[in-house]
Structure 1
Amino acid sequence: MTNKTCWVLSNGIIGMDNQSFGLAHALGIEVIKKTVMPVAPWKYLPAQLWIKSLHSLGSDSDSLAPPWPDVVIGTGRLTVALSIAIKRASGGRTFNVRIQNPQVALRHFDWVVAPLHDRCKGANVIETLGAVNSVTAARLLRASEQFAPRLAHLARPLVGVLVGGTNRSVRIDTAVAHTLADKLIHAAANHGAAIVVTPSRRTDPEVVAVLQRRLSNVASVIWDGTGDNPYLGYLALADYLVVTADSVNMASEACYTGKPVFIEGLTGGNNKFEQFHRELQSRGYTRPFTGELSDWHSPPLDETSRVASLLKQSMGLN
């Protein structure tokens, strides 16, 4: 750990925070969370119209004032302008790292870390196959120790199912839930598998209800949202992983484990999501879920460490 500091700009969106904090911690410097909640009219305007402003925040935001950090990292539209303003206020000293395509001129950033499907090209762009994230071997080990006793009664193989929710590109509805349940029941009957399911905050309660009802006669555990989230525990302990197609983050984190990862629920999709999943499949990280369980080997998808290494070289931290 050096004496350098990194501000992570957070607007409370878990999926974005996981990317920002994952990369920040991988740099090995002090990480400071800065909660930023832009107010009207700024939050509705394109970033180009307020890239010089640090006065766009509500009372529930943290102060953005000197001493300025050595690095600022942010993900998502609402932190783009603020990161540029911080770099300007620091006299250019703050190293500005943007995750995902910022949709503004790339010259405002030292590095942009963008997945291939963002189609963001430039001399200062580091392209990644999936999303950088906060999953590490140490976190998986701790999670496996925490959750192993709770799953000890279940047979092997163990199928971990990560369920997301409908977004602008993919629908995860009750029809998908029924199809998924059919396949999981098949896996249980034909492979002797036990099933563990963790819904996300975005999962429709009706989707969870379908899975609970349909899997009631199968050796299974479906997280009910109480107590500690078993997400990392299931990543660590499952023999196979099934991930709904709506989340780049979940697919990327599942592929970090190096285990067989099956993708379920491509009932909508756009070119961006389809490109992402085609790329994962073509490189051997994932396969479509049919209910059959097959084994294959792929190297862990650890884009976070790769990107952090490149950034540390650029900043002279190695």
Structure 2
Amino acid sequence: MAPTQPDLAAPPAAGLPGASAWVLTDGKAGDETQCLAVAERLGLSPEIRRVAPGAPFAWLMPWGPIDPRERAGRPGSPVAPPFPDLAIASGRRAVPYLRAVKRLSGGRSFTVFLKDPRTGPGAADLVWAPSYDRIEGPNVVRTLTAPHRFSPERLEAARARPDPRLSALPAPRAAVLAGGDSRHGAFSTRDVARLAGQLRSLAAGGVSLMITTSRRTPPGLAAELRALARDGRGFLWDGTGENPYASMLALADAIVVTADSVNMLSEAVATGAPVLVFEPEGGVGRLGRFLAELKSAGLVKSFGGKLECYAYEKLDSTPVIAQAVAEGFAAHRAAIRAAASR
């Protein structure tokens, strides 16, 4: 399977009726969300399995074995049978467990790994990676953006029945998706002051802010965002009530997003709304290649404290990734049937 870029006209992925599926991660929200996104686009309701290896086995991952305390015969093992038809995994700690599923199922389970497993494309039957990663192989599919759970149908449903806390805000509305410090870079005090000042300018110009933060958002930035909402400049979700994230994306006339999250950027460019990216002064490491590709494709622009109106063809790579999984799964099952008939 040659590396590919998303086909904007690609049909929805074929479903896998009757197939059983696992999502296998160490519980990190970003990894689990991507796996669930692919499973859901295939029409599956997967069983969530979370690995929790201890030292020293966690130190050796992704190259070492699974933690023996979590082997298949132990109570609560994340790889206890019956084994699934399809296993989708992400995160370096999940790599040995995905290999174990393949081995313990006698090769019956079709395995998928999302992002670069660091051990090469042989870590799974199929590997998806973003185009800024360098992994290549006949079983590797690459797309510009990451899989996510915000299908066109889900966004349309959110527009039809929006969260009343957001629909009450006067237009124009800007969704503010605030990430924060990561392995790709950190927010300095100057970054916090610059972003807060730019958002104040936006609000002063009559734009309603629909704000959400993450666990990585620096305390100083979180405090500034709370103050903006408290001053009547919009709404900040503080974790109470239903998560309004889908409505934020659906109602946004523009989206301001920090540059540290592939997931948030991928979700944003699937909406068709202008996407304005705040970049910390220290950069975002190898995600800089991702941002450069998004800018080159005309999908995002840099945020400078004001709305920008521009058009682009919204991009959702999830159906392309799901289609690749469906095709790989079908070929795998055909090979199993052929082997059984010999």
Q: Distance in 2 between matches of 1:224 and 1:168?
A: 25
Mapping of residues 219-230 of structure 1, within 5 Å: 219-230=233-244
The answer (yes or no) to whether the contact 1:188–1:218 under 8 Å persists in 2 is no
For 2:209 and 2:192, locate their aligned partners in 1 and report how far apart those are by CA, in whole Å: 14
Partner of 2:329: 315
Q: CA deviation at 1:15?
A: 0.7
Is 1:263 the counterpart of 2:277? The answer is yes
Structure 2 residue 172 is matched with structure 1 residue 157: yes
AA in 2 matched with 1:43? A
Higher alpha-carbon deviation: 274-283 or 67-76: 67-76
Distance verdict in 2 for CA 1:65–1:215, change over 3 Å: closer
- Indicate the SS of the match to 2:70: coil
Per-residue CA deviation, residues 65-86 of structure 1 (Å, 9 max, x unaligned), is 3322111111110000100111
Number of the residue aligned with 2:223: 209
Name the CA distance, whole Å, in 2 between partners of 1:306 and 1:101.
18
Quick check: 1:273 aligned with 2:319? no
Q: Cα RMSD between the aligned structures?
A: 2.2
Counterpart residue number, 2:196: 181
Deviation of residue 267 (structure 1)? 2.1
For structure 1, which segment, 143-152 or 95-104, has the greater mean C-alpha deviation from structure 2 after superposition?
Answer: 143-152
**Residues 173 and 57 (structure 1 numbering): CA distance in 2 closer, same or farther, change over 3 Å?**
farther
Question: What's the secondary structure of 1:102's corresponding residue?
Answer: coil
- When residues 226 and 29 of structure 1 are mapped into structure 2, their CA distance, relative to the original with a 3 A threshold, is closer
Query: Which is bigger in relative contact order (C-alpha 8 A, separation at least 6)?
Result: 2
CA distance in 2 between counterparts of 1:60 and 1:295 reads: 56
Question: Which residue number in structure 1 is paired with residue 89 of structure 2?
Answer: 74
For residue 225 of structure 1, give the secondary structure of its aligned residue in structure 2: coil
User: Which 5+ residue runs of structure 2 have no aligned equivalent?
Assistant: 1-15, 332-342
Shift of 1:310: 1.8
Distance (Å, rounded) in 2 between the aligned partners of 1:140 and 1:64: 34
Name the SS of the counterpart of 2:200 in structure 1: helix
In structure 2, the CA distance between the partners of 1:63 and 1:167, relative to structure 1 (3 Å rule), is closer
Q: Does 1:107 align with 2:122?
A: yes
Q: Give the AA of the match of 1:267.
A: E
After TM superposition, list the pairs within 5 Å mapping 1:1-318 onto structure 2: 2-50=17-65, 53=66, 55-57=68-70, 61-144=76-159, 147-190=162-205, 192-213=206-227, 216-217=230-231, 219-316=233-330
1:93-132 deviations in whole A, cap 9, x for unaligned?
2111110100113223211100112211111110111221
Provide the secondary structure at the position in 2 that maps to 1:48: coil
SS of equivalent to 2:209: strand
Deviates more, 1:159-168 or 1:205-214: 205-214
C-alpha contact (below 8 Å) 1:97/1:112 kept by paired residues: yes
Q: SS at the partner of 1:175?
A: helix
SS class of match (1:295): coil
* Contact preservation (8 Å) 2:184, 2:287: yes
TM-score (norm 1): 0.91
C-alpha deviation, 1:259, in angstroms: 1.0
Q: In the superposition, relative to structure 1, how do residues 256 and 208 fare at CA in structure 2: closer, same or farther (>3 Å)?
A: same
Identical amino acids, percent of aligned pairs? 37
Letter in 2 for 1:289: F
Question: TM-score by structure 2 length?
Answer: 0.85
Moved over 6 A (4+): none
Of stretches 298-307 and 26-35 in structure 1, the one that deviates more from structure 2 is 26-35
